[in-house]
Amino acid sequence: MASDSRSKRDPGGCYTFSSRPRLVENRPRNREPPSEENPASYGNIMHDRRVVRGNTYAQRTVPVPAVRTSVPLARRGAETQRRYEANRKRVTAWLGPSTPEPVPGRRHIDVQTERYLEELSGVIELSDTQCQTDDFLDRPASPLFVPAQTGQDAATQVEEGDLFDFDREVQPLLEVLVGKTVEQSLLEVLEEEELAGLRAQQRAFRELRSIEEVEVQRLQEAERRRKEENERRVAQQREALEREREVAEKIAARAFSRQYLASLVPTTFTSLRSDGFFYDPVEDDVRTNFMPWLTEQVNERLVKKAAARRLLDDIIYEVAKKRLPMTETEGQSKD
């Protein structure tokens, strides 16, 4: 907020300063660097509106600039941001490239970059300069401003006791003060009693609530035990039904297996016996050992008998063959 200066003189003879509030126009945060188009302007204090010139006791009215309300706040903020960015770019271009911003967690510090090291100290070099001024000329003090008198003066003499009788008029004041004090005290006492009653009710309520909480916990625990017992009984009944079902299935399976195996066992044993899986050891020994040996011995004897018969036949044939010529010779001789 800025203010328009206004000086006036009070009846006591002193000057006072007052300011009329007004809105400040949006200005760029950074000033534009001087250029040929915008040369640097240096303000003159004599042209400042806040400096009073001329008659100091006359009121000076300064026109208040109209507040621009037609531009929305968002647009004004955007224009301010755009002007700030433009000014920052202009200042950056005028000053040249600068060091980039530090990464988060670090900061820039000044580092000695000259070729030769030099001692850095905080001592500021000072130099004395003198200037001779003119002698001070005394000037008489300015007379106090006395405004011209207007109207007529009037006075009224008031004697002691004419306006206020303390002994008579202090009684209502004391009655009011004492009554207010007593009333406030009674209100405080009633409030304390009410607070004590509220605290007693709160204690009774807390006790009742604690008792109810204990009862609720007991009921919850009983309900939990009842629920667990019910679940356990249901689980036991389910297990008993499962066992009964398994027993019934086993009995049915056993009966079916007996009925199925009643005719299967004899047939199986008969087929196994016919296939030679069930045999008599003596019979098997006779069949596998004795009968092949007996057959072999019989074959050998038969072969020997056949050979003897062939040999006998050959002998008979030779004898018959030899006797045949003799028989023929005997017959011729008989003839």
Q: How far is CA 310 from CA 42, 298, 302, 316, 318, in A?
A: 168, 18, 12, 10, 12
Select the more confidently predicted residue: 238 or 20: 238
User: Is residue 62 assigned to a domain?
Assistant: yes
Residue 4: enclosing H or E segment and its boundaries?
A: strand 2-9
**48-72, pLDDT tens digit by residue?**
777 766 666 655 554 544 444 444 5
Which residues, including other chains, have CB under 8 Å from residue 80's CB and lie 6 or more apart? 26
Task: Write out the residue range of the structural domain in which residue 82 sits.
Answer: 2-35+44-95
Residue 61 lies in a domain: yes
17: in domain: yes
Backbone conformation region of residue 96, classed left if phi is above 0, alpha if psi is from -120 to 50, else beta:
left
Domain assignment present for 68 = yes
Residue 59 lies in a domain: yes
77 within a domain of the structure (yes/no): yes
- Which band of pLDDT confidence, cut at 50, 70 and 90, is reported for residue 240? very high
| Within-domain flag for 277 | no
* Total structural domains within the chain: 1
**Token pair in block for residue 101:** 């911003």
Residue 116 in this model has a pLDDT that exceeds 70 = no
Handedness of CA 254, 255, 260, 262 (dihedral sign): positive
Long-range interactions of 157-165: CB distance < 8 A, separation 24+ = none
For residue 57, being part of any structural domain is answered with yes
Interval 171-188 mean pLDDT: 92
Amino acid (one-letter) located at 21: P
Decide: residue 32, CB within 10 A, 0-12 exposed, 13-18 middle, 19+ buried: middle
Q: For residues 1 and 19, is the Cβ–Cβ distance under 8 A?
A: no
Q: Which helix (H) or strand (E) holds 209?
A: helix 166-274
